[in-house]
Amino acid sequence: MKYPLQYLVALSLVDRRQDDLEDEFGDLPEKIKEKKDQYNELESYVKETQKVLDEVRDFILKSKKALEELKSREEKLSKQQFLVRNNKEFDAITREIEFARNEYNRISQELQLTTLKEENLVNVLEKQKQDASEALEELKELERDYELIATNQNEELNEIKAARSKIVEQIDKHTLEVYQRIRHTHKDAIVKVKKNSCTGCFSHIPPQKIIEIRNNLDKLYTCENCGRILYPEDLEIDSEYIL
Ligand SMILES: [Zn+2]
């Protein structure tokens, strides 16, 4: 083959094969990303709840300890009350006992509420952990599906890679850049002219331009409507460059 145009056509065929392989993944990559985000979010809920639960449990422990201390303090004060020498001392101890009892009641009530809160948190945490583990299972399944497709494609991808580098060697940098640029918009960056039309967008190509394309195979012509590179229908491509 002597024209870059011919190599571009061969390159396009290889690239389209690769596009088809990528299409086999369908929306899997997107689904995997979404599931990953979902899992991470659920995991962060688990962590948050666990943190609050730890704090609540710490508070419960401290409250129980405080209650024990208040109880023994009250007992101690009650004993002291029998040993007082005057009314003043008696009243002072009575006030202290009163204070200890009030504190005891206050903390008891608080402890009751906090224990309820703990029970709720335990339930919430269990549900959140379950949701996260379900999401993780779903994520693993999606990743397994992905791996399966990737493994099946491995051999073909290697063939494509080899064929591609063999073709690319034959194309000058500028032509390759033009092709790659068009590939951003149109996966089929180079198309046949057939029945006086661009086979990319089906718009009419003037006969004069078709003659020009045929007579100047060393040049690149693009469709004025869609911008794809055009090549004559009967352009020959050596089979050694076709996968
Ligand atoms: Zn076109």
Mean pLDDT, the chain, integer: 96
Do 199 and 111 fall into the same domain?
Answer: no
Please state whether 202 falls in left (phi above 0), alpha (psi between -120 and 50) or beta: left
Do 29 and 133 fall into the same domain?
Answer: yes
193 and 233 Cβ atoms separated by less than 8 Å: yes
User: Could you tell me the pLDDT band of residue 243, with boundaries at 50, 70 and 90?
Assistant: confident
Please provide residue 231's backbone torsions phi and psi, each rounded to the nearest 5 degrees: -140, 150
Residue 157 is assigned to a structural domain of this protein: no
Q: Which of 90, 123, 152 is the last residue of a domain?
A: 152
In three-state secondary structure terms, 48 is helix
Residue 10 is assigned to a structural domain of this protein: no
What is the domain-level CATH number for residue 121?
Answer: 1.10.287.1490
Do 38 and 144 fall into the same domain?
Answer: yes
Do 235 and 186 fall into the same domain?
Answer: yes
**Domains contained in the chain, number:** 2
d(CA 139, CA 145): 10
Do 86 and 119 fall into the same domain?
Answer: yes
1: pLDDT strictly greater than 90? no
In angstroms, what is the span from residue 237 Cα to ligand 1's centroid? 21
Do 115 and 187 fall into the same domain?
Answer: no
Do 42 and 87 fall into the same domain?
Answer: yes
In angstroms, what is the span from residue 205 Cα to ligand 1's centroid? 8
- β pairing state of 197-198 and 221-222: unpaired
In angstroms, what is the span from residue 192 Cα to ligand 1's centroid? 10
Do 41 and 129 fall into the same domain?
Answer: yes
State the residue range of the domain holding 118: 24-152
191 and 202 Cβ atoms separated by less than 8 Å: no
Q: Which of 84, 118, 152 is the last residue of a domain?
A: 152
60 and 101 Cβ atoms separated by less than 8 Å: no
Residue 193 is assigned to a structural domain of this protein: yes
What are the beta bridge partners of residue 39?
none
pLDDT in tens, 149-158: 999 999 999 9
**pLDDT score, position 73:** 97
pLDDT in tens, 76-130: 999 999 998 999 999 999 999 999 999 999 999 999 999 999 999 999 999 999 9
Do 30 and 134 fall into the same domain?
Answer: yes
In angstroms, what is the span from residue 161 Cα to ligand 1's centroid? 28
Residue 112 is assigned to a structural domain of this protein: yes
29: pLDDT strictly greater than 90? yes
**pLDDT score, position 143:** 98
Burial of 7 (0-12, 13-18, 19+ CB in 10 A): buried
In angstroms, what is the span from residue 195 Cα to ligand 1's centroid? 13
d(CA 203, CA 196): 9
Do 60 and 130 fall into the same domain?
Answer: yes
Percent of the chain with pLDDT over 70: 100
pLDDT in tens, 36-50: 999 999 999 999 999
pLDDT in tens, 161-213: 999 999 999 999 999 999 999 999 999 999 999 999 999 999 999 999 999 99
Do 28 and 145 fall into the same domain?
Answer: yes
Beta-carbon neighbours within 5 Å of ion ligand 1? 198, 200-201, 223, 225-226
